[in-house]
Chain A
Amino acid sequence: MTTIKEIKDQLSNKKISVQELYDDYYNKAKKSELNSFNQLLEPEYNKQNIINSQSRYDEEKDLPLDGIPLGIKDLFCTKGIATTASSKILEKFIPEYESRVTQNLLNDGSIFLGKNNCDEFAMGSSNETSFYGPVINPWKNKNQINDHLVPGGSSGGSASAVAEKICVASIGTDTGGSIRQPASLCGVVGLKPTFGSCSRWGVVAFASSLDQAGPITNTVEDAAYLLNSVSSYDPNDSTSSNHKRDNFLEGIGKNFDRPITIGIPSDYLKDVSSEIIEQIENTKKHLTNLNINFIDVEFTTTDFALSTYYIIAPAEASSNLARYDGIRYGYRGKGDSLEEIYVNSRSEGFGEEVIRRILIGTYVLSAGYYDAYYRKAQRVRRLIKDDFQRILKDVDFILTPTTPNEAFKIGEKLDPIAMYMNDIFTVPTSLAGLPAISLPSGLSKNNLPLGIQLIGNYFQEKNLLQMASLLEKEFGFNG
């Protein structure tokens, strides 16, 4: 396993050059057959960045992520580089500006290998809705070795690429679980920060009250490195928080100097398989030596979280995606009138799941249904948030499975509701805006990775990463 810290040490000690490091990852990415990149940047594009990075190492003035080859989910606007959201409607879109998150990563010296495949407009839990085709999970079911498995979604390309180690880390986005669920299915670490931590400016919008960028990495420490870079106040995002950020690396690997209590919600575990429950039991066993106290907690709103999410997220999506009209940018369908251009551009440019979500959203926002669905869901959302606040008064962290199942076969889940159920454990945290991290906890009987999710309190990512790093050490999971 090669961590950011180890790579940086090698670069500082001249064991490897920035160019050699880049070539190594570029060549691996070029050879990959898992479709995890929509676009791999030509080496020519990174030439100057690599030279600049190398001279900073030579002068011992290296930046926090200097020379580190990253994947970027194709949902972040990157100046001069096609940004498609894995949709036909944005196939030829080349942003004239850089998203805040990717600008931060560039400012910290990282090198972009390319744009990671994802579900179209980040709508999906298996990366099968991408216009560029499904991404393949590097893991195989040992009992069905020839099957291609989904990497999860929507940041499936990011998770697959990090697990295949063709990029050191990737930046994804999470609306209802799109970082944590693929991380779990691919056996890597995925952190969704508190809503408001990372700027949404320049991120193709899906559901603006939920969308949040975050790292997908091989280790918890790497996640802290990336979070240090991407978490920042941005006046261009009205929901960006302007509190002072912690140094998220500070707690990594250190024991807590106070007793820690972790709550395990019994209501999350009532319908899950024994294999998933085992992950939780296993986690408890691993932590007994560390002065950690476990208590059972029970939410009253869990049964309503998915319904709330599948009203609010499509409603916001239908509004956000109204901008794709074929006039100013993106795909334009043929038409003799404005109306025809609008309708043809959208009907031909959007894929099946995106159209489904726009229709759901349009329905729940339409006259006569707004109060019954949208307004109602927003009220329930407050109850969900309050429910978390009640439980977080008594515990430091909440421990749950990340997903109800291991990675499944591409093409296996055709029913939308069955697909939505993948996010049953990640969606409640998203609605509450809380930070949560998924880390690999073990392997299933089929030899596929399973993950657990730790949830912390608002803006407590430093503690959350610290806790996760201790757990990671105990698990000793080696992808």
Chain B
Amino acid sequence: MSDINIKKVSYLAKLALNDDKAALYEKSLSEIIEWVDNLKKIDTEGVKPLHNITEKNQNIRNDEVVKNNSTEEILSNAPEKAQNFFRVPKVVE
């Protein structure tokens, strides 16, 4: 059995789970983590982690300013906006 603290994990992921959901996910995660634990059986001593298949040809582009969107366009999808800003509850007291 793994030692998953589902409340802590969901807190880190900014997800709220009621008690039923928490129990469900804790069980599900435990099973999945147990299932992936077979990786312990493969020897990876001295093997370099592979982050990306194309690690040899990562492209870097010139840092050139291009105008490809406007404030208005970006704000068009905002759930709440005010003037030229995203609107959120007061952050600073």
Binding site for B on A (CB under 8 A): 92-94, 96-97, 195-196, 209, 235-236, 238-242, 301, 303-304, 306-308, 310-311, 318, 322, 325-332, 335-344, 346-347, 350, 355-356, 358-360, 362-363, 366, 373, 375-383, 385, 416-417, 432-433
Contacts and interface: CB of A to CB of B under 8 A. Distances in A.
B49 A347 contact: no
Interface string B51-89: 111100111110000001100011011111000001011
Contact of B32 (A327, A346, A360): A360
B28 A209 contact: no
A329 B78 contact: yes
B12 interface: yes
B12 A377 contact: no
Chain B CB within 10 A, most for which of A350, A360, A375: A360
19 contacts: A92-B77, A235-B59, A238-B60, A304-B39, A307-B36, A307-B37, A311-B39, A341-B88, A343-B14, A356-B29, A359-B25, A360-B32, A376-B44, A377-B39, A379-B48, A379-B49, A379-B50, A381-B49, A383-B44
B15 A376 contact: no
A433 B9 contact: no
A362 B6 CA distance: 10
B42 interface: yes
A395 B55 CA distance: 24
A385 B79 contact: no
Nearest to B34: A417
A318 B40 CA distance: 23
A329 B73 CA distance: 11
Interface string B15-26: 111000000010
Contacts of A341: 88-89
Interface residues of B, number: 52
Contacts of A307: 35-39
Contacts of A344: 16
B43 to A, nearest CB: 9
A373 B36 contact: yes
Contacts of B73: 96
Nearest to B80: A332
B1 interface: no
Contact of B15 (A196, A304, A355, A373): A355
Nearest to B74: A96
A382 B48 contact: yes
A432 B42 CA distance: 17
Contacts of A339: 14
Nearest to A208: B52
B42 A301 contact: yes
B85 to A, nearest CB: 11
A432 B53 CA distance: 7
Given A92-B77, A337-B89, A344-B16, 5 more contacts: A239-B58, A366-B12, A380-B44, A385-B53, A416-B32
